[in-house]
Amino acid sequence: MENDEVILLDYWASMYGMRLRVALAEKEIEYEFKEEEFFITKSPLLLKMNPIHKKIPVLIHNENLFVNLLLQSSTSMKSGRTKLHCYPPILMREHKLSSGLTTLTRRLLEEAALGDEPYFGGEIFGFVDIALIGFYSCIGMENDEVILLDFWPSMFGMRVRVALAEKGVEYEYKEEDLFTSKSPLLLKMNPVHKKIPVLIHNGKPVCESLVAVEYIDEIWKDKAPLLTSDPYERAQARFWAAYTDKFNDFGRRIWTATREEFGGGKKDLIDPLKLLEESALGDKPYFGGEGFGFVDIALIGFYSWFYTYETFGNFSIEAECPKIVAWGNRCMQRESVSKSLADPHKICEVLLEFRKKQGLE
């Protein structure tokens, strides 16, 4: 057994992969971990080793394949180590099938299977414990209270809406009418800047849109990662995401200008947009490559404002930055984006009324 070659194809957030990791650790088996960027692409090795389901985890033992067999392979590799089966096989199978996170399932597991024992098998950590433990990181999330203080045309609020939608997080939306007044709740939760969006998670506020998006990505890790695990790529994503904040000021110069000043704002907006297109997007479908991610979320809210900029500035963004517009159209095919962004024509109508009240029309 000393010369065994053990490889685990896995994805860091997978509760099913966690089962294998725990079992291998219990058996003190050294192995090579190969990370699969599961939401972006699947490696040739994964497709070769699991051509039927194309899923992780896959345990490769001396080039022999074990796909979704939970612990049988690691149990047999070092049978002299800790035994992982403390229940009869039929009970193990039943409990494995019950390892979901519904309230009913949790009650059944606690009362019928666990009882007052320290582990599911009694005094010893074993098979059912390993089957369920990966779900532990998700327990409690279903009772989270998530509130978003937002203003419907805000491109910054749209960032948070898209991120929550990507993660499948349910939340309560509280509209702030920033044209009239700010609610006591907003002033309480963001006393420094007094701005939206504010994400309130179990009573704790998270302010600033990009900070909130990163927070969402870290808290709800089990679905749709928005930042990669590579430190350099994460740093680059943060840089370009922060860069997109500039477009708020550039765009504001257009829709707050007088009729005589409209033309001057075009260059201020288009030049940095071209730089973003050439230096960050290039020929990729998304800023991070094949997968929708952090920089896409940072910029996509501005996409719903393009119509307003073009209408007041009398120019075409598509003519100047065709790849950016194609990227925006691609993003709009995602349900998380299409259902989170404001109607471009409605934004333009509201700002036209605002301009009239300000005497700019």
At 293 the pLDDT is 98
**Residue, of 143 and 189, whose pLDDT is higher:** 189
Residue keyed to tokens 């389901």: 53
Query: Do 8 and 59 contact (CB within 8 A), yes or no?
Result: yes
At 337 the pLDDT is 98
* 3-17, 77-91, 131-145, 153-167: least confident range: 77-91
Q: Is the pTM of this model over 0.75?
A: no
Arithmetic mean of pLDDT over the chain: 84
Euclidean distance between CA atoms 307 and 358, whole angstroms: 21
At 97 the pLDDT is 40
Query: Do 222 and 138 contact (CB within 8 A), yes or no?
Result: yes
189 has pLDDT over 90: yes
At 4 the pLDDT is 81
At 275 the pLDDT is 98
Q: Model confidence at 44, in pLDDT bands (50, 70, 90)? A: confident
pLDDT in tens, 103-158: 556 666 666 676 777 887 777 887 777 877 776 665 555 568 999 999 999 999 99
**Mean pLDDT, residues 280-303 taken together:** 97
At 143 the pLDDT is 67
Q: Which of 88, 44, 61 is nearest to 4 (CA)?
A: 61
39 has pLDDT over 80: no
Q: Quick one: 209 exposed, middle or buried, by C-beta within 10 A (0-12, 13-18, 19+)? A: buried
Euclidean distance between CA atoms 303 and 332, whole angstroms: 9
23 has pLDDT over 50: yes
235 has pLDDT over 90: yes
* 82-96, 149-163, 314-328: least confident range: 82-96
Q: How far is CA 305 from CA 181, 249, 302, 308, 332, in A?
A: 23, 12, 5, 5, 14
Q: Model confidence at 26, in pLDDT bands (50, 70, 90)? A: confident
* Highest averaged pLDDT of the listed ranges 22-31, 252-261, 332-341: 332-341
**Mean pLDDT, residues 187-194 taken together:** 96
At 36 the pLDDT is 82
258 has pLDDT over 50: yes
Q: Which long-range contacts (CB under 8 A, 24 or more apart) does 117-125 make?
A: 119/86, 120/86, 120/87, 120/95, 121/85, 121/86, 121/87, 122/86, 124/83, 124/86, 125/26, 125/82
